[in-house]
Structure 1
Amino acid sequence: MKYLTLTVLIWFYVKNVLTLECYWNTECKYKYFGSKTPYETVRGDIRDSVIRMEGCEAVSIWAIMRHGKRNPGQIFARHMQHILEHKDVIVSSYEVGNSSLCAQDIENIKNWNVDVPVLTKPNEIAEEGYQELLRIGNRINEAFPELLKELQAKDYLFLPGFGQHLKESARAFVQGLNKKLILENDTDDYQIVAPYLTCGKYQLEVRRNPDIYHEEEEYKKTADYLNMKERIVRKLGLNFTFSNQDITAIYDLCRYTWNGISNKPCPWCAVFSTEDLQVLEYIDDLRHYYRNGYGVSQYSKRFGQLPLADLLRKFEQVKNGKGKKIVSYFTHATMMDMILVVLNLYKDTKPLMGAHKDINRKWRTSFLSTFTSNMIAVLNRCSNPGHDEYFYNVAFYWNEKPLLDLCNKGVCSWQEFEDIFKPFLNATIDFCEFKWKNID
């Protein structure tokens, strides 16, 4: 009987050791962080994705892109700094045996130092973000070498929206395409790239309205969210409870400093389980859904039509023998979300709600509006055997992958393209009532 008891105890001890989950050596780490997901995590490759059709050649490219990975805003950076000031407390909790983090994970947190600009240069583009855009430029240049060689000033337009990180994103993209090209002069006309910035009605009723975060706040009252907070405190072995702000700050440490290009995770991500990260990801989905997406479609549809109307106009000019070989706009996640709403893409049958997380939801910011997310449209001119006239079609890509839910697996005939996009030509921002001047 003593032998049996000893065996059971040894088995229980070994079982606990073998099933201890450590972040540092987990091969398949969860790396979807809502709108702060690294582009490298979800992107395709336009060089491989180009839909090639016999007898067709690309004659124009139109693209709209979110800025590259940037540093957090000033308030969020301050919250992250606050957590870093408690790093010694977290390490001490492990050393006295209260924490269930693995030894290597705690050592990695202990030895980790934040890249200084992340906290001291709010909203500036990160080096990784610059590289994201530069590499897209490289890939587009390789995918369409004949179209993009020897570009003249009349052949292109590159226009960034408000913010230095957008200008740097545009500069990186242009460098990737061809170092000799120049950007459009600075402008305060954001009607195509970010019309919501100067729309008084939208700023008051949506952007500055705390009620739009109602579903997000409801979710923070659910067992999903509360259990996540309890797991984290228990995991760190602390004798105090984190505030929601503290949880977000640790999450920001994890996602803002995860390097997607080098696939180098941040040690702070060890604080979370996969289930925890999925909870936090859903909060981002709710926020975008009700601020930029289907939850505020009366605005998102009207704003999103403006760049899409520009797409039709630009391609019509090319079709009529004029126009440009490449046009690219640089914007925010807000506009990327709105474009999806206008095209009725990734729409769930039921609205996203705070009371219940739908694990099978289509609206996933981790795949739709990540850093550097983009929509690329390519106008193709095709020969028509037995006829002198050409015909045209338009291929669409989202994050460098064919946009399969649009037309024939991402390729619209010119007639289909016109049928979808022509109604957008009537889009205006007359409903805004007054111009919002305090752009931030």
Structure 2
Amino acid sequence: MSHALVILVLVNIAISQSCYWNDGCAYQLFSSKTPYDTVRGDIRDYPTPANCEAVALWSLNRHGNRNPGNSATASMRAIAQLQDEIVSSHYEGKGQLCAQDIEDIKRWRWNETLDESASFLTGVGYEELYEIGKRLREKYPHLAEGTEDDYYFRTTYEQRTITSAMAFVHGWTEGSQINPSVDGPWEHDDVIRPYENCDRYQQDVKGGQAVVDQLEDYCNNPEFINVKNNVQTRLGISTQLSSEDVHSLYELCRFYRSWEPKLKSPWCAAFSNEDLLVVEYRDDVTHYHRNGYGSWVNVNLGKPVLKDLYENFKASLESENTARRLVAYFSHDTMIEMALCAMGLYEDNFVLQGSEIDPDRLWRTSFIGSLAGNILAVLNTCNETDGQNYRVQIFFNEKVTDLCPLEGCTWEEFDAYFQRYTAANLDFCSMDYTGPEVL
């Protein structure tokens, strides 16, 4: 075999290995739109502490996989108009996508249901919550054998959370005769959506300048500019892509891939795995300042729901026979991330900035803000050498957290940490509030 032929073969092999369509290890982390199965553990794999039995469960759940909202849908539909230009550019010898990836883009069709069901829970999302409820029932079957009054479920007013609650209850009660009701949605819910009616949050945080400035810095970040140039070259089109265009392509990639059994979308071919690492950071820095440690307001908004956790477990201690066996709330990534901040989890020793991407950061929305993400606390009664005691296990996405070890915190340890949340209030939400930032 001639040297030229060997080189040609090697080049062809290299090209085939860089194609999206046959990439056996395609990138799986897509910020706040990461499917739950990509990052979850399995509660059934963790043992109950020795000589213990669970007596009460408490959980805070994000809704499952959903359709994009109206704004994202509009931007996705607009950028999808480049479909023909991308295909024709490659036929003219421009661009760098593989032939199969181009063929897949050519065959791709817009999902018309998106225009009428913005933000609605998808079938995948229903299955995510159903399976969580089912795994909890299989792990704690004795707790699933109660009556309707033993359980409490509550949801926000969005279709995606209401349907998520229905899916969870389906998984929890399947095969039984009980049919518990779901409370809510409440018009004003200061436990699982306190930020919605918090003036300080709406004006200073969500409507403030910090997120705008951080996004501007991110779009001017050399790493992102490099990604934008890479995508432009890879697609081979004459239409000049803006930063928002690149994000819209990312939305097409991550939304459409989550609905496919093989978790792939031809639009993801526009990005290399290295590009996706950079684009993933956009949500991280946005959520950090809008929902996370970027503002003291966010941390305090996460405390009322933890007060609810503490008070439910306290009631179980005082009367196991009349306390609820399971309390489950269904909310949004905003609430999950605020609660994690209030507990002091996933906190970096630096402030996330749009101008700089630290690959070793703890705050990564792919892991802490995934679809169907959840916080689960388990109260166990235990027969120990010094008599009957209680232990609390705390899981996040069905994995053990740093807050309590697998064998659980003793009640004294749990009480010492969580009792502080009983003082939680929303007085700071008033724009006239002049008190301390740490409540």
- Asked whether the two chains share a fold, i.e. TM above 0.5, the reply is yes
Q: After the TM superposition, which of the residue ranges 107-116 and 32-41 deviates more from structure 2?
A: 107-116
Inter-partner Cα distance in structure 2 for 1:251 and 1:186: 32
Inter-partner Cα distance in structure 2 for 1:259 and 1:44: 19
Inter-partner Cα distance in structure 1 for 2:5 and 2:314: 75
**Conserved in 1, the CA contact under 8 Å of 2:61 and 2:328?**
yes
Matched residue, 2:58: 62
Q: Which amino acid aligns with 1:72?
A: P
Q: Give the C-alpha shift of residue 85 in structure 1.
A: 2.0
Matched residue, 2:409: 412
Q: Please give the per-residue CA displacement for 1:135-170, whole angstroms capped at 9, x wherever unaligned.
A: 111111111001111x21220110001311111111
Matched residue, 2:28: 31
Q: Give the C-alpha shift of residue 262 in structure 1.
A: 3.1
Matched residue, 2:121: 125
**Conserved in 2, the CA contact under 8 Å of 1:134 and 1:176?**
yes
Deviating runs (4+, > 6 A) in structure 1? Answer: none
Q: After the TM superposition, which of the residue ranges 411-420 and 6-15 deviates more from structure 2?
A: 6-15
Q: Please give the per-residue CA displacement for 1:370-396, whole angstroms capped at 9, x wherever unaligned.
A: 010000000000113474xx2101001
Inter-partner Cα distance in structure 2 for 1:83 and 1:216: 20
Q: Give the C-alpha shift of residue 355 in structure 1.
A: 2.2
When the two structures are superposed, what TM-score results if normalisation uses the length of structure 1? 0.92
Q: After the TM superposition, which of the residue ranges 30-39 and 241-250 deviates more from structure 2?
A: 241-250
Matched residue, 1:438: none
**Conserved in 2, the CA contact under 8 Å of 1:69 and 1:125?**
yes
Q: Which amino acid aligns with 1:108?
A: D
User: What secondary structure sits across from 2:302 in the alignment?
Assistant: helix
Matched residue, 2:307: 309
Inter-partner Cα distance in structure 2 for 1:423 and 1:158: 25
**Conserved in 1, the CA contact under 8 Å of 2:153 and 2:182?**
yes
**Conserved in 1, the CA contact under 8 Å of 2:154 and 2:183?**
yes
Q: Give the C-alpha shift of residue 116 in structure 1.
A: 2.7
Q: Give the C-alpha shift of residue 243 in structure 1.
A: 1.3
- Whether 1:146 and 2:142 are equivalent positions in the alignment is yes
Inter-partner Cα distance in structure 2 for 1:176 and 1:260: 21
- Whether 1:374 and 2:413 are equivalent positions in the alignment is no
Q: Please give the per-residue CA displacement for 1:338-361, whole angstroms capped at 9, x wherever unaligned.
A: 111111111111111222211111
**Conserved in 1, the CA contact under 8 Å of 2:316 and 2:324?**
yes
C-alpha change, 1:131 and 1:144, in structure 2 (3 Å) is same
User: What secondary structure sits across from 1:428 in the alignment?
Assistant: coil
Q: Give the C-alpha shift of residue 217 in structure 1.
A: 1.6
User: What secondary structure sits across from 1:330 in the alignment?
Assistant: strand
**Conserved in 2, the CA contact under 8 Å of 1:71 and 1:119?**
no
Q: Which amino acid aligns with 2:300?
A: R
C-alpha change, 1:324 and 1:379, in structure 2 (3 Å) is same
Inter-partner Cα distance in structure 2 for 1:410 and 1:24: 44
**Conserved in 2, the CA contact under 8 Å of 1:45 and 1:401?**
yes
Inter-partner Cα distance in structure 2 for 1:410 and 1:271: 46
- Whether 1:88 and 2:84 are equivalent positions in the alignment is yes
**Conserved in 1, the CA contact under 8 Å of 2:95 and 2:235?**
yes
Inter-partner Cα distance in structure 1 for 2:84 and 2:237: 12
Inter-partner Cα distance in structure 2 for 1:385 and 1:146: 25
Matched residue, 1:3: none
Q: Which amino acid aligns with 2:289?
A: Y
Inter-partner Cα distance in structure 2 for 1:244 and 1:119: 24
C-alpha change, 1:328 and 1:434, in structure 2 (3 Å) is farther
Inter-partner Cα distance in structure 2 for 1:106 and 1:181: 50
Match among 44, 49, 56 for residue 47 of structure 1: 44
C-alpha change, 1:120 and 1:16, in structure 2 (3 Å) is farther
- Whether 1:22 and 2:16 are equivalent positions in the alignment is no
What does 1:184-333 correspond to in 2, within 5 Å? Answer: 184-259=183-258, 262-296=261-295, 298-321=296-319, 322-333=322-333
Inter-partner Cα distance in structure 2 for 1:354 and 1:84: 27
**Conserved in 2, the CA contact under 8 Å of 1:38 and 1:260?**
no
Inter-partner Cα distance in structure 2 for 1:186 and 1:235: 46
Q: Please give the per-residue CA displacement for 1:302-356, whole angstroms capped at 9, x wherever unaligned.
A: 1111111100100011111132000000111111111111111111111112222
C-alpha change, 1:91 and 1:224, in structure 2 (3 Å) is same
Q: Give the C-alpha shift of residue 408 in structure 1.
A: 2.9
Q: After the TM superposition, which of the residue ranges 171-180 and 67-76 deviates more from structure 2?
A: 171-180
Matched residue, 2:181: 182
Inter-partner Cα distance in structure 2 for 1:181 and 1:261: 33
- Whether 1:429 and 2:426 are equivalent positions in the alignment is yes
- The alignment-based identity, stated in percent, is 37
**Conserved in 1, the CA contact under 8 Å of 2:49 and 2:408?**
no
Inter-partner Cα distance in structure 2 for 1:292 and 1:185: 23
C-alpha change, 1:261 and 1:242, in structure 2 (3 Å) is closer
User: What secondary structure sits across from 1:257 in the alignment?
Assistant: helix
Matched residue, 1:99: 95
When the two structures are superposed, what TM-score results if normalisation uses the length of structure 2? 0.93
Q: Give the C-alpha shift of residue 201 in structure 1.
A: 1.5
Q: After the TM superposition, which of the residue ranges 22-31 and 160-169 deviates more from structure 2?
A: 160-169
User: What secondary structure sits across from 1:19 in the alignment?
Assistant: helix
Q: After the TM superposition, which of the residue ranges 151-160 and 12-21 deviates more from structure 2?
A: 12-21
Query: Number of residues paired by the alignment?
Result: 424
Inter-partner Cα distance in structure 2 for 1:85 and 1:169: 33
Inter-partner Cα distance in structure 2 for 1:386 and 1:420: 22
User: What secondary structure sits across from 1:217 in the alignment?
Assistant: helix
What does 1:342-353 correspond to in 2, within 5 Å? Answer: 342-353=342-353
Inter-partner Cα distance in structure 2 for 1:375 and 1:65: 7
